[in-house]
Amino acid sequence: MSEGRTSSFRRSVTRSGSRVGHESGFVAIPGNSTLDAPPRLIDLTTGLPALTALFNELRPLPEKGGASIVYVHLPSNELIEERYGWEALEAYTGFVASDLSRYARELRADRDFCVLMRAFADDFVMIFPAGDSDAELSARIVSGVRGHLQAVDEELAELHEIYIGTASIRPFAKIHPERWIYRGIQKAQREATDVGRQRLGGQVRVLDSCIRERAFRMVYQPLVDVRDRSIFAYEALCRCTMEQLRNPHMLFNVAEQGDRIWPLSRVLRRMTCEAIPSLPEGRLMFINVHPRDFDDPQLLQPEPWLVEHADRIVLEVTERATITDFDDFRRNMEVLREHGVRIAVDDLGSGYAALSSVAELQPDFIKFDMTLIRDIHESPVRQNLLRNMISFARDMNAGVIGEGVEIVEELDTLVDLQCTYVQGYYFAKPTAQFLQAVSV
């Protein structure tokens, strides 16, 4: 952020925040457009009253049938002040207060009552009579403030975080009105300041948008037959086009934690299948699937675009993910196999404990994890382990694939161990187009 831009932003927002706070009445008390509170209870940066200044005005809420509380938490305040100074922080805080005042005015016009106040150093509280559209307000505030700030100052917007907590409170005659309100505020505060939960919620909203818009692109890494250096298959890998979820590990962690495995996998499977008509003749497509996908009724129907290309598809299952019921998993897997789909077990690690689970699944291909392959030419112990695991795979008539091959020494060792297929940067990085051949 340039000094000139920061100063201009700070001056304009500070003036705007002060003017709105004292003249426009975004602290909306019935019959009043100004705040009747001692100066010491006014926040000088925003012109808003402190939390304790308004309890008398809030007493009528129980008679109105209950209230909704929106707690706005700004966790990035400390970072903004450390990076740009206290004046920039005050400008930013005033900016947020000014935006919140707009929503408060809308609520006042709709429901005749709304108060907006400053709560603690980094937070705001909005209280108003409960209504049908309260669930939508949080999303409107988050997107509205973020969009407005992005238009004003992109650098500050990159640091900006806003988390919302909500509470709905109903009157109870035995509870003092002040405690009734305090408890609602505390509940909303706990929700807003649970940063981990809030961040996940924000990431899930981004993921939902990506799924709706198919904001992904597929890249393809070749799998190579070591016997003649020909490409026999490609693994389809997903890249999210949204910056927040560009890291694939982040993308799938959010999907797993946010219960979005099925909708994400459905989109990615379809996008991959749409590319199969361009797949070079005779080659296979490996498609990553999560074990939970095998409980997805849409996959098990199975999907028509999957059936259309079933003889060219290998569903690649992450072995490390928990499979709680092997009998059920295997039954669902057989439904797909009946249509011609093949199965691979991905990321088989360096322990014998995993082998019993693989034996249960009887896969068509087994992939050995790059942690086992990395520098294997320097480890006689891992070479012996892999030799026995390859023998185990052959006894099941499963093809074996070494992942993560980056140097010729690793490749030569895998050839010596009779590993038939390999994959890794030594041959090619993932590309948007199907490579026709590898050059090494």
**CATH T-level fold of 214-422:** TIM Barrel (3.20.20)
Structure tokens at 176: 């003092």
Q: What is the dihedral of CA 355, 361, 364, 368, to 10 degrees?
A: -30
pLDDT at 235 over 90: yes
Contact 371, 405 (CB under 8 A): no
Instruction: List Cα–Cα distances, 28 to 31, 117, 122, 146, 250, in angstroms.
Output: 9, 10, 21, 24, 43
3-state secondary structure of 358: helix
Does the pLDDT of residue 299 top 90, yes or no?
yes
Segment 207-225 mean pLDDT: 97
Better-scored residue on pLDDT, 349 or 186: 186
242, with CB counted inside 10 A (0-12, 13-18, 19+), is middle
Q: Which CATH architecture has domain 3-193?
A: 2-Layer Sandwich (3.30)
**pLDDT confidence of 320, banded at 50, 70, 90?**
low
Residue spans of the domains in the chain: they are 3-193, 214-422
pLDDT digits (tens, 9 = 90+) for 372-427: 999 999 999 999 999 999 999 999 999 999 999 999 999 999 999 999 999 999 99
Per-residue pLDDT tens digits for 113-142: 888 988 876 799 999 888 877 778 888 898
**Inter-residue contact 258 to 200 (CB < 8 Å):** yes
CA 265 to chain centre: 14
Q: Residue 338 — φ and ψ, nearest 5°? A: -60, -20
pLDDT by residue (tens digit) across 177-197? Answer: 677 788 888 999 998 888 788
> Do 407 and 374 meet the contact criterion of CB atoms below 8 Å apart?
no
Query: Among 59-68, 107-116, 275-284, 369-378, where is mean pLDDT lowest?
Result: 59-68
Range with the lowest mean pLDDT among 58-72, 80-94, 237-251? 58-72
Nearest Cα neighbor of 148 from 266, 249, 13 is 13
Please state, in angstroms and rounded to a whole number, the distance separating the CA atoms of residues 108 and 25.
10
The answer, yes or no, to whether residue 33 has pLDDT greater than 50, is no
- What pairing do the DSSP bridges indicate for beta strands 123-129 and 115-119? antiparallel
Residue that wins the pLDDT comparison between 88 and 174: 88
- How big is the CA angle at 135 (ends 129 and 139), to the nearest 5 degrees? 120
Residues 6+ apart with CB under 8 A from 396: 358, 359, 362, 363
Q: Higher model confidence: residue 9 or residue 89?
A: 89
> What does pTM read for this prediction?
0.66
Q: Which amino acid appears at position 61 of this protein? A: L
For residues 338 and 21, what is the distance between their CA atoms, to the nearest angstrom?
A: 69
d(CA 66, CA 313): 57
The C-alpha atoms of residue 317 and residue 325 are separated, in whole angstroms, by 15
Residue indicated by tokens 């309890």: 55
E runs forming strands in 278-370: 284-289, 313-318, 342-348, 365-368
